[in-house]
């Protein structure tokens, strides 16, 4: 290939531009007249070079897609063959959650997540106000396309699909139980809170940063410029003592910004796991119980309040 491209560099467009008549005339004279024959050979070599180079370029540009396209092609071919279909899906599964994340993510893989049950999605209620705030807020309109509404029951999901482009229905066999109004700290409320925590853990494990926002927060300004850029975990507070690094601040998990990395992924796993050690407690209580445990301190996760 190298020698061919060296050759081609010594030929110029001038030779390609030579009168078309000569090309035709000379093709007949190959072998008889040595000088014109050589020119024909050079033209043939030139053409071959161009063809070979363009083939190489095309090949290089499709190099990867080709490999990725192949399984899809196979999927179509064997679409009625359950066995082979299954094998292909196992090699590259894309879950519904991943699909929603991909569609909603910003360029830096950040998503805004809120959680809904049907009680909050009734027309003219919380969710409508929440969405409207993005339209009215300063610099918030552009963020709306990154908001994922995580629905805890199918009624909320149906309603979400009518008014918003990124909806995700949590797989819940007990969705009826999750759908109504929940009194603070009732068993249904706790179930809902921990279901939400599991989901956020999953989001991190897929490598997406998230800003979780309760749906009863109105977005009047873009909060992103306000966050500390290098911090793993930033969370709002019910009671704030003015010291952003102080773990004694009393957290409120309704507004939480988390960068996806190994520390946060493991922290969320640990936080969710700890709900079993501290039964009948909500996420904030469990957070307070584990925040100074050796496991968390050794993890080295950075936090701001
Ligand atoms: C379906 O898959 C099985 C197992 O891979 C294979 O033996 C069979 O030939 C396939 N059938 C068709 C129609 O491709
Ligand atoms: C929603 O609220 C507005 C203002 O209060 C009212 O005009 C409208 O009829 C309500 N729509 C529904 C569907 O309840
Ligand atoms: C949905 O949840 C049920 C139990 O809650 C579980 O058995 C099932 O495997 C889950 N389905 C998916 C697709 O995750
Ligand atoms: C995160 O953990 C995975 C496996 O647990 C490891 O392969 C990877 O190197 C880790 N990344 C960093 C940045 O520590
Ligand atoms: C959480 O629990 C699961 C299942 O028991 C376990 O595999 C995992 O290692 C635990 N993770 C942490 C960080 O404690």
Q: pLDDT tens digits for 68-119?
A: 444 444 444 444 555 555 555 555 668 899 999 999 999 999 999 999 988 8
Taking each helix axis from N to C terminus, what angle separates 96-104 and 187-205, rounded to the nearest 10 degrees? 70
Residues 73, 140, single domain; the answer is no
Share of the chain above pLDDT 90, in %: 56
- CB 255, CB 217: distance < 8 Å: yes
Residues 216, 147, single domain; the answer is yes
Provide the pLDDT for residue 197. 95
Print the domain residue range for 36.
2-78
Ligand 3 atom with least separation from CA of 174: 5
Q: How far away, in angstroms, is 127 Cα from ligand 2 center?
A: 14
Residues 118, 32, single domain; the answer is no
Residues 144-168 pLDDT 10s: 999 999 998 889 999 999 999 999 9
Residue 187, both tokens: 């068993």
- CB 100, CB 169: distance < 8 Å: no
Q: What is the CATH number of the domain that holds 135?
A: 3.90.550
Residues 65, 201, single domain; the answer is no
Residues 43, 180, single domain; the answer is no
Q: How far away, in angstroms, is 273 Cα from ligand 5 center?
A: 6
Predicted confidence band of residue 221 (pLDDT cuts 50, 70, 90): very high
Q: How far away, in angstroms, is 260 Cα from ligand 4 center?
A: 12
| Nearest CA owner, ligand 3 atom 3 | 173
| Residue 87 belongs to a domain | no
Residues 159, 62, single domain; the answer is no
| Residue 208 belongs to a domain | yes
- CB 167, CB 131: distance < 8 Å: no
Q: Domain tally for the chain?
A: 2
| Residue 88 belongs to a domain | no
| Nearest CA owner, ligand 5 atom 2 | 273
| Nearest CA owner, ligand 3 atom 1 | 171
Residues 148, 220, single domain; the answer is yes
Domain final residue pick, 44, 78, 112: 78
Q: How far away, in angstroms, is 19 Cα from ligand 5 center?
A: 76
| Nearest CA owner, ligand 1 atom 9 | 81
**Does residue 78 line the site of ligand 1, with CB under 6 A?**
yes
Residues 163, 17, single domain; the answer is no
List alpha helices for 11-125, DSSP H: 13-16, 20-29, 34-77, 82-91, 96-104, 118-121
Residues 237, 298, single domain; the answer is yes
Q: How far away, in angstroms, is 199 Cα from ligand 3 center?
A: 13
- CB 261, CB 276: distance < 8 Å: no
Residues 145, 233, single domain; the answer is yes
Domain final residue pick, 53, 78, 103: 78
| Nearest CA owner, ligand 2 atom 6 | 124
Domain final residue pick, 78, 111, 139: 78
Residues 70, 206, single domain; the answer is no
């Amino acid at each position: 290939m190298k020698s061919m491209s060296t050759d081609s560099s010594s030929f110029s467009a001038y030779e390609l531009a030579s009168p078309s008549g000569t090309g035709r005339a000379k093709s007949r004279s190959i072998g008889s007249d040595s000088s014109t024959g050589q020119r024909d050979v050079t033209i043939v070599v030139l053409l071959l070079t161009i063809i070979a180079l363009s083939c190489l370029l095309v090949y290089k540009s499709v190099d990867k897609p080709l490999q990725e396209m192949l399984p899809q092609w196979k999927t179509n071919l064997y679409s009625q063959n359950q066995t082979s279909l299954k094998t292909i899906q196992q090699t590259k599964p894309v879950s519904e959650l991943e699909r929603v994340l991909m569609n909603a993510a910003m360029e830096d893989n950040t998503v805004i997540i809120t959680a809904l049950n049907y009680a909050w999605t009734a027309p003219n209620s919380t969710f409508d106000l929440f969405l409207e705030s993005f339209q009215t807020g300063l610099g918030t309109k552009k963020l709306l396309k990154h908001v994922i509404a995580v629905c805890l029951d199918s009624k909320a999901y149906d309603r979400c699909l009518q008014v918003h482009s990124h909806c995700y229905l949590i797989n819940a066999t007990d969705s009826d139980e999750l759908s109504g109004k929940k009194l603070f700290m009732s068993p249904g409320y706790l179930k809902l809170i921990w279901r939400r925590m599991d989901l956020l853990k999953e989001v991190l494990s897929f490598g997406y940063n998230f800003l979780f926002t309760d749906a009863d927060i109105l977005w009047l300004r873009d909060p992103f410029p306000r966050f500390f850029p290098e911090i793993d975990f930033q969370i709002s507070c019910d009671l704030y003592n003015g010291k952003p690094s102080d773990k004694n601040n009393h957290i409120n998990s309704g507004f939480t910004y988390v960068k996806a990395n190994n520390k946060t992924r493991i922290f969320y796993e640990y936080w969710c796991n700890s709900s079993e050690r501290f039964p009948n407690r909500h996420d904030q209580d469990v957070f307070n119980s584990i925040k100074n445990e050796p496991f968390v301190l050794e993890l080295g996760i950075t936090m701001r309040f």
